[in-house]
Amino acid sequence: MAHQTPGNDAKAVKSDIARAERLLARGELIRAIDTFLSALRLKISGVIPPRDMAVVESHLADFCKEFNGSLCVGEAFAALGEPRRPLLPWRAGRDRPAMNTLAALKFRMQEYRSAEADQAIAQNQARLEELIAQGTELLRENNLPKARVTLRRAAEQFSRMPGVSMRVAVIFLEYERWSEAADMLRSIILATPKDPEAYKLLLRALTAMGKDREAEEVYLSVLKRFGPHPVTCLNLARLYLSQRRMDDAYKYVRQALDLDPTLAEAQELLQSVV
Amino acid sequence: MKISSSVSDSDQIVSLLGRMPLLKMFSPEQLRQVLKFSQVHVYDFGETLIEEGRTDRALFFLIAGSVYVLKDANLLMEFNRVGDIFGEMSIIDGSARSASVVARERVVCLVVDAAFFDDGGGDSEQAMLCQNILFRAIAQMLAERLRRMNEDIIAMRAAAPAGSGSLQA
């Protein structure tokens, strides 16, 4: 146990109260309440000699006075729609009602903040959908500069929401805006290098743009990161074949067949290579 | 906390109580019998209705608002439905309050004094019948809570990884 001797308990209670006062002064209301509650719990369960108790009680009374006059407490009451009144009329030796009141305030504030956060999420979601719809409409109208700005803004502004960048990248791909899609997918890979879908889509964009050199690098990095896969090997072999790099094409089509001997496309490609 | 005067003649309260699920089995006359031992209490946000560790004996029916049930300032549960009952344990075994109940907002409660359960307003058949019905209502509510707790325990056991700790029977 941390506080075994009576002197230690009194000291710990006073230290918690002092910390709660500092937190309150900084406007960190929930942390201040938590710290003050731990002081009250310790006062109830600990052993405090009578000579220290009067000092502890006076510290508690001081905190309650500060609490009742605090600006952030007033703001919390206003936000909760509760009429402000002296919240913690301190009575020496009557700790539980004060604990209960503080705990109730803490839980109500947590509910309020959670509801506020839910509302903010809903608003963000609505704004994101609006930007995506606008961007998609601009792409449909072939207004690429404005579409690019709008969709990139959606991805940047809501980057903390999961999947937004990928969603924007897919929209660019659907409208065959390969370069914009590739930019988006490169940044996704940079941020989350373990996402195989991003590599797959980037390769689709690079292939469409004829960026064979970068495509080759991406295929090789995929094989290195995720291990050999017959379809990846087959696609890399196809890329090499299109560049007339027959030895490399043979190496990878052979590897594809080693991994999956039933892969019919690899068997066909092997005929072209040998 | 504000306390109303006697509520025994209040038709409005009788009508409201009559709609509470656990009190539906009472006739209006029987409800008036209960109300003879009752008061309406109004609490502001943050006020303590029941204080952990105290030995007061009263049964609470929630009429409006919502309350937190706290143990050592930790949240155990919330009551927020009209007709929710709390404070029944001390009526049954006379023990000290095992948890605190605090107003989550402005709360109105019907508070039935323990004297009703000890005496019931005399030995009349009507009074005895009222006691029986109220005890049956409490038993129903406790059975419902026990059922929910059992479901929670089963769910916790199912969620706990095999061989992990005390939930394994």
**pLDDT given for residue B168 in this prediction:** 40
How far, in Å, CA of B116 to CA of B112, rounded?
A: 7
Q: Which fold has domain B2-159?
A: Jelly Rolls (2.60.120)
For residue B104, the chain A residues in CB contact (below 8 A) are: 104, 107-108
Whether residue A110 lies within 8 A of chain B, CB to CB, comes out as: no
**pLDDT given for residue B1 in this prediction:** 75
Residues of chain A with pLDDT under 50: 1-3
φ and ψ at residue A131, rounded to 5 degrees? -65, -40
Q: Are B87 and B59 in contact (CB under 8 A)?
A: yes
- Of all residues in chain B, the one with the smallest CA distance to A37 is B73
**pLDDT given for residue A179 in this prediction:** 96
Q: How confident is the model at residue B166 (pLDDT cuts 50, 70, 90)?
A: very low
- pLDDT at B120 > cutoff 90: no
Question: Which amino acid is located at A250 in the chain?
Answer: Y
For residue B52, the chain A residues in CB contact (below 8 A) are: 96
Q: Where are the domains of chain B?
A: 2-159
Q: How confident is the model at residue B169 (pLDDT cuts 50, 70, 90)?
A: very low
Please state at what angle helix A71-80 crosses helix A95-140, rounded to 10 degrees.
60
How far, in Å, CA of A234 to CA of A214, rounded?
A: 17
**pLDDT given for residue B5 in this prediction:** 55
Q: How far is A103 from chain B (nearest CA, A)?
A: 5
Token pair recorded at residue B152: 């929670």
Query: Could B70 and A103 be called an inter-chain contact, meaning their C-beta atoms sit closer than 8 Å?
Result: yes
Whether residue A76 lies within 8 A of chain B, CB to CB, comes out as: no
- Of all residues in chain B, the one with the smallest CA distance to A96 is B51
**pLDDT given for residue B167 in this prediction:** 43
Query: Could B46 and A105 be called an inter-chain contact, meaning their C-beta atoms sit closer than 8 Å?
Result: yes
E strands present in chain B: 2-3, 38-43, 48-50, 58-64, 67-71, 74-79, 85-86, 100-103, 107-113
Q: Residue B112 forms beta bridges with which residues?
A: B38, B59
Token pair recorded at residue A144: 């690429």
How far, in Å, CA of A212 to CA of A39, rounded?
A: 67
How far, in Å, CA of A111 to CA of A133, rounded?
A: 33
- Which one-letter DSSP state was computed for residue B1? -
Could you read off the pLDDT of B57-111 as tens digits, one per residue?
899 999 899 999 999 999 999 999 888 889 988 888 888 999 999 999 999 999 9
How far, in Å, CA of B101 to CA of B145, rounded?
A: 17
Q: Are A149 and A162 in contact (CB under 8 A)?
A: no
Q: What is the mean pLDDT of residues B123-141?
A: 79
Query: Could B68 and A104 be called an inter-chain contact, meaning their C-beta atoms sit closer than 8 Å?
Result: yes
Q: Answer whether 0.90 is exceeded by the pTM.
A: no
**pLDDT given for residue B9 in this prediction:** 52
**pLDDT given for residue B163 in this prediction:** 57
B138 or A150, higher pLDDT = A150
CA B90 to chain centre: 10
